[in-house]
């Protein structure tokens, strides 16, 4: 396979670039994007760049932009660019005539000017964009909600099916426990691509029952997802794959993709799966440039559904293959040492081989005694057999001692960033382990030795003590009268008493404090509770004074934030929050979602104790790998393996199913291959030195990856799954034969006593109080109509850390009184008479109207489904979904009057309706304020632009109020317009209101929503201000997007739709107006004048 040259011919067709650790996959992608654009092979908007994680996507997007910027700036001076020896790509782009170089620079300028059009996305983001763009051919509801974790739905389905089939069914003894059923369901749903075995049959033995249950769970989860209009990430892939594979929709869908994207680059391709590869193959292979970059030696995510077989299949199909052969991470001697250790090893598959790489950097950046690659051998000593536990303790003690020795040795490091040579610090060192148990063992030992250390892991935060601590707190809040719960809370980190303090605690006093915390929770939620409790109990200062306090505080905050987010997503209450958390803790062993992965507790200079999976993509000057010898093979109840056709398979039948033992062996064989790749990832994180430990435990060493690698004579021909453990002398002699002078050494690790590090004394910094040298701009703010209106009513936030609640709380109950007129309207009952009020109900209705398509031919069914979905998400529980959907139908069919050319919402196509237009407008210069405007400034504008006959002309008097008028308009104004309708060439602002305008002790009728009543409601609730601000937002939006924009032509006014008063097409007032529809068309000159005042002040 040839080495890839970034400055050679641009890849064409389908090309697989095989990387190795440290060879610059992201650098290569950014360079290729720059070349394709600069050389005119494709515009930036014709490139698709795909990777496999949100964080990686943002990093890749930033790196691509940085490379484009540096090339654009460099090419501005072609002569200097040709002399730029530090940047070979820039030199290459500067070759040729000045005209050609100028053209390349111009293309880069254009690309950066439209960088937002670049598609740099995760695979799932790309699939979602494509499916929505394909419309009905994409088999996805544009209003469907994408959820990362389906655990709650899976649990619900399992409980329903388990009860139906085996508790209330005919089976006397269920073939599996409820917990086992949940594990089985999670496995088959989360690995939806796997073929299930054994084959389904009508038998009633345990394997057949388990198989039918697995199939039923898959089918029922899929049915409920469609019913509730939710999607998992894998659904995006499978639906796009089905669309592309369909003989009717596939060719046109693929043609659209190829017309849109001429060049596709895929990063981290080793983490793909067969469906993802099938999508790329069907869409682009053979018809576009498709560049797949990955390192199969780092394929370590089988447990998340990644499948290295898909990479290998793509490599076989590709038109071209090449390798990235230059390592930008590690010193030359370290690379030679690793080459001697791996010896061209095949890592689980003969096609996945460790290739030699060259070093981009010369010399050695670490000045320390010892080779760049070291193997430390822990002998059995006087015992015949070394148990796993004592072996781990011996290795851990030696690791800590080595780190203490290194930090005390005066070793010097020359950082890669060009900064001066300096002493090695704890933050230069990483200890990479496989399991959470090993992570905790090393972390605790380092802290005990006085070495600062922090943890990095992808494990769920709910597995930590913080999850249990929060359960203790919520249980105590749930029943504050129970002394047992109070005492458990007293010794938790939240209160922090020790045994002596617990003995002396005043339970009654603690109970009173707990009741106060309960009131905080009930009034303001989890976030306010945690802030209040932290302040009352001095939680940060108390925990940070402990050895691992930073870690514990980080975890407590993380769990608290997760609880807060869950409560915001759907009203939980105290009992609901407690049950939600208990479920998360119970299921945390299988939870690998990004949001729940444990956070790094500190950015300080500390040794990083990292799991292998969390270390991927990272690099450290010095790396220790203590447990490559320690591998325990667990028997899997649901083995995962590949069959002879390379299909991924799950045996769900259990130990009694046919060939279960063979499937278990196949599963273990693939796991042993991934173990070798995990070892490769761990060892290749190092820049300057890596140390691995070998220990001869009696049980775990024979199948461990480091042992198998080191004691296999020809690893390039394959590595056995179990290798006998030799004697101490034979092991040391055999390993020593692998040594390479100056690169790889093997030494025996002596029995070490507990080490302790004495941090070098530092000159204490002189402390002084900071001096505020500027005036605080107290009038600058980010505000909204809701915040301005709250200020009008002297509302103040309850606690500073609580975000503004995103509810439609601008809908007061406004009883109206007026002499009877339009008496016939008194006989028309409001369709929403029986429905509740309040902010939560308003939010529910707004959300339904945001997502439903009023023009749907199946409107009744779609509206009912959307109402049920949103009630499930938002509440309130117990609301009659059928009643709400029936009550909303008349509002969708009510004519909207002249501003809408007499049309109703059901007559306005989705292409002419923009829902939830979010905006954030600078006021008086935004970040660079040029003065201050005030609400009273708008009063004069209303007087000068509105005729006296305008129904809202009197609002100017309200804005002249001394308190109200002094509200500053300086900073940013944000908000969200419910809908913008395009009526012909005009654009109309729409705002939905669920206000109850009638008297609370009388039935609600259409009479309560005649025009005079709505005018009074508008003025009472300050809706004219909202209407003006939203019209200004629309004005600024349109002037950037509509060619030939003219406010007098394109601004179409404002419609306030009081939904409770909209009774259908046949209900009209005496004056021809429609109850519930308030139309106002402020003069375009007024809208422009208000916009100018917000931008520049009064002239």
Which residues are catalytically annotated? 991
The angle at the Cα of 510, spanning 507 to 512, to the nearest 5 degrees, equals 110
**Ramachandran assignment for 661, one of left (phi > 0), alpha (psi -120 to 50 degrees), beta (any other):** alpha
Distance CA 472, CA 485 (A): 7
Distance CA 904, CA 1067 (A): 13
Beta strands 326-327 and 358-359 are parallel
Q: How far apart are the first and last CA of the chain?
A: 71
Distance CA 681, CA 620 (A): 12
User: Tokens representing 578?
Assistant: 């407690």
623 SS3 class: strand
**Buried/exposed code over 529-564 (b: 16+ C-beta within 10 A; e: otherwise):** bbbbbbeebebeebbeeeebbbbbbbbbbbbbbbbb
CA–centroid distance for 329 within its chain: 28
User: Tokens representing 289?
Assistant: 């440039």
φ, ψ for residue 1030 (rounded to 5)?
-70, -35
The angle at the Cα of 135, spanning 130 to 138, to the nearest 5 degrees, equals 60
* Burial category of 328 from C-beta neighbours within 10 Å (exposed 0-12, middle 13-18, buried 19 and up): middle
What CA–CA distances, in Å, run from 760 to 398, 407, 423, 604, 763?
22, 9, 11, 16, 10
Distance CA 187, CA 746 (A): 42
Q: Where are the beta strands (DSSP E) in 451-584?
A: 453-456
Distance CA 1060, CA 673 (A): 65
The neighbour count for residue 351, using CB atoms within 10 Å, is: 15
The neighbour count for residue 288, using CB atoms within 10 Å, is: 23
Q: Is the distance from CB of 974 to CB of 788 less than 8 angstroms?
A: no
User: Tokens representing 1054?
Assistant: 């404002």
Distance CA 299, CA 311 (A): 9
Q: Is the distance from CB of 281 to CB of 317 less than 8 angstroms?
A: yes
Q: Is the distance from CB of 10 to CB of 39 less than 8 angstroms?
A: yes
What CA–CA distances, in Å, run from 136 to 142, 247, 253, 711, 720?
9, 15, 11, 58, 52
Nearest partner of 808 among 845, 848, 849, judged by Cα: 845
User: Tokens representing 583?
Assistant: 């479920």
- Torsion from C-alpha of 658, 661, 663, 667, nearest 10 degrees: 160
Asked if the bond preceding 198 is cis, omega within 30° of 0, the reply is yes
The neighbour count for residue 859, using CB atoms within 10 Å, is: 17
Nearest partner of 680 among 649, 723, 715, 729, judged by Cα: 715
744 SS3 class: strand
Helix (H) or strand (E) holding 1090: helix 1084-1096
Name residues whose C-beta falls within 8 Å of residue 933's C-beta, 6 or more positions apart in sequence. Answer: 923, 924, 968, 969, 970, 1093, 1094, 1097, 1098
Which residues are paired to 322 by β-bridges?
A: 2, 17
Render 1016-1082 in DSSP notation, one character per residue: HHHHHTTHHHHHHHHHHHHHHHHHHHSTT--HHHHEEEEEEEEGGG---TT---TTS--TTEEEE--
């Amino acid at each position: 396979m040839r080495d890839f040259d970034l400055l050679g011919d641009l890849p064409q067709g389908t090309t697989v670039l095989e990387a190795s650790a440290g060879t610059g996959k992201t650098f290569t992608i950014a360079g290729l994007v720059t070349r394709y654009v600069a050389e005119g092979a494709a515009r930036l908007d014709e490139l698709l760049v795909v990777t496999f994680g949100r964080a990686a996507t943002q990093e890749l997007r930033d790196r691509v932009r940085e490379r484009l910027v540096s090339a654009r700036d460099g090419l501005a001076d072609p002569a200097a660019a040709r002399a730029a020896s530090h940047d070979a790509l820039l030199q290459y782009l500067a070759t040729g005539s000045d005209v050609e170089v100028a053209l390349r620079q111009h293309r880069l300028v254009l690309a950066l000017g439209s960088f937002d059009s670049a598609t740099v996305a995760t695979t799932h983001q790309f699939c979602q964009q494509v499916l929505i763009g394909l419309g009905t051919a994409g088999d996805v509801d544009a209003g469907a909600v994408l959820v990362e974790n389906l655990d709650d739905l899976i649990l619900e389905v399992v409980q329903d099916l388990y009860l139906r089939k085996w508790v209330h069914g005919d089976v006397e003894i269920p073939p599996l426990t409820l917990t086992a059923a949940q594990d089985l369901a999670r496995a088959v749903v989360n690995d939806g691509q796997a073929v299930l075995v054994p084959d389904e049959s009508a038998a009633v033995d345990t394997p057949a029952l388990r198989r039918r249950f697995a199939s039923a769970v898959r089918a029922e989860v899929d049915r409920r997802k469609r019913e509730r209009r939710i999607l998992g990430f894998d659904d995006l892939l499978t639906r796009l794959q089905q669309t592309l594979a369909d003989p009717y929709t596939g060719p046109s869908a693929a043609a659209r993709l190829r017309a849109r994207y001429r060049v596709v680059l895929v990063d981290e391709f080793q983490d793909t799966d067969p469906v993802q590869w099938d999508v790329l193959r069907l869409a682009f292979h053979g018809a576009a440039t498709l560049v797949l970059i990955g390192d199969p030696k780092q394929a370590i995510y089988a447990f998340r559904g990644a499948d290295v077989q898909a990479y290998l299949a793509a490599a076989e199909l590709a038109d071209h293959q090449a390798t990235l052969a230059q390592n930008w991470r590690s010193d030359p001697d370290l690379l030679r040492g690793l080459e001697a250790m791996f010896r061209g090893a095949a890592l689980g598959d003969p096609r996945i081989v460790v290739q030699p790489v060259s070093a981009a950097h010369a010399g050695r950046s670490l000045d320390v005694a010892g080779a760049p690659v070291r193997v430390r051998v822990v002998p059995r000593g006087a015992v015949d057999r070394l148990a796993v536990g004592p072996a781990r303790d011996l290795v851990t003690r030696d690791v800590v001692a080595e780190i203490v020795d290194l930090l005390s040795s005066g070793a010097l490091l020359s950082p890669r960033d060009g900064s001066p040579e300096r002493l090695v610090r704890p933050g230069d060192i990483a200890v990479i382990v496989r399991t959470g148990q090993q992570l905790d063992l090393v972390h605790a030992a380092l802290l005990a030795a006085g070495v600062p250390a922090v943890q990095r892991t992808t494990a769920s935060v709910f597995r930590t003590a913080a999850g249990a601590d929060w359960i203790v707190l919520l249980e105590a809040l749930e029943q504050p009268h129970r002394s047992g719960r109070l005492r458990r809370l007293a010794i938790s980190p939240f209160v922090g008493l020790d045994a002596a303090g617990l003995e002396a605690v005043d339970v009654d006093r603690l109970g009173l404090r707990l009741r106060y915390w309960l009131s905080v929770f009930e009034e303001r939620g989890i976030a306010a509770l945690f802030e209040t409790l932290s302040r009352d109990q001095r939680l940060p200062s108390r925990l940070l004074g402990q050895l691992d306090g930073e870690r514990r505080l980080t975890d407590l905050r993380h769990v608290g934030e997760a609880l807060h987010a869950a409560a915001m997503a759907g009203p939980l209450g105290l009992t609901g929050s407690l049950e939600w958390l208990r479920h998360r803790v119970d299921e945390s062993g299988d939870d690998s979602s990004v949001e729940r992965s444990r956070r790094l507790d500190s950015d300080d200079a500390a040794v990083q104790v990292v799991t292998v999976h969390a270390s991927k993509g990272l690099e450290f000057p010095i790396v220790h790998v203590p447990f490559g010898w320690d591998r325990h093979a667990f028997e899997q109840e649901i083995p995962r393996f590949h069959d002879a056709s390379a299909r991924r398979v799950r045996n769900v039948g259990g130990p009694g199913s046919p060939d279960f033992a063979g499937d278990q062996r196949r599963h273990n064989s693939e796991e042993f291959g991934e173990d070798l790749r995990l070892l490769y990832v761990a060892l290749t994180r190092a820049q300057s030195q890596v140390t691995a430990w070998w220990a001869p435990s009696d049980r775990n060493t024979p199948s461990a990856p480091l042992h198998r690698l080191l004691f296999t004579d020809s690893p390039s021909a394959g590595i056995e799954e179990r290798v006998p453990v030799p004697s101490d002398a034979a092991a040391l002699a055999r390993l020593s034969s692998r040594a390479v002078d100056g690169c790889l050494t093997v030494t025996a690790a002596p029995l070490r006593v507990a080490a302790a590090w004495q941090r070098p004394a530092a000159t204490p910094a002189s402390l002084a109080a900071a001096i505020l040298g500027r005036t605080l701009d107290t009038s600058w703010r980010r505000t909204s109509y809701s915040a301005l209106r709250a200020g009008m009513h002297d509302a103040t936030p309850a606690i500073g850390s609580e975000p503004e609640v995103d509810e439609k709380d601008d809908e007061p109950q406004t009883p109206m009184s007026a002499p009877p007129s339009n008496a016939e309207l008194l006989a028309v009952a409001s369709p929403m008479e029986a429905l509740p009020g309040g902010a939560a109900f308003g939010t529910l209705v707004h959300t339904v109207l945001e997502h439903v398509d009023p023009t749907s031919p199946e409107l009744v069914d779609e509206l009912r489904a959307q109402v049920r979905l949103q009630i499930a998400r938002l509440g309130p529980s117990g609301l009659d979904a059928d009643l709400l959907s029936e009550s909303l139908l008349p509002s969708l069919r009510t004519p909207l009057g002249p501003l809408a050319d007499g049309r109703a919402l059901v007559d306005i196509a989705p292409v002419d309706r923009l829902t939830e237009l979010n905006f954030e407008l600078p006021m008086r210069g935004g970040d660079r304020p040029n003065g201050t405007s005030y609400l009273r400034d708008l009063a004069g504008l209303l007087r000068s632009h509105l005729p006296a006959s305008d129904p809202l002309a009197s609002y100017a008097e309200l804005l002249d109020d001394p308190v109200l008028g002094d509200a500053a308009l300086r900073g940013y104004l944000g908000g969200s317009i419910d809908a913008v309708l395009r009526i012909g060439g005009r654009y109309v602002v729409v705002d939905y209101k669920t206000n109850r305008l009638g008297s609370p002790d009388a039935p609600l009728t259409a009479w309560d929503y005649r025009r005079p009543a709505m005018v009074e409601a508008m003025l009472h609730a300050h809706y004219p201000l909202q209407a003006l601000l939203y019209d200004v937002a629309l004005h600024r939006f349109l002037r950037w997007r509509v060619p030939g924009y003219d406010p007098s032509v394109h601004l179409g006014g404002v419609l306030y739709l009081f939904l409770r008063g909209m009774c259908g097409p046949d209900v009209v007032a005496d004056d021809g107006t429609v109850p519930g529809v308030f139309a106002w068309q402020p003069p375009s000159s007024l809208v422009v004048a208000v916009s100018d005042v917000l931008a520049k002040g009064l002239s």
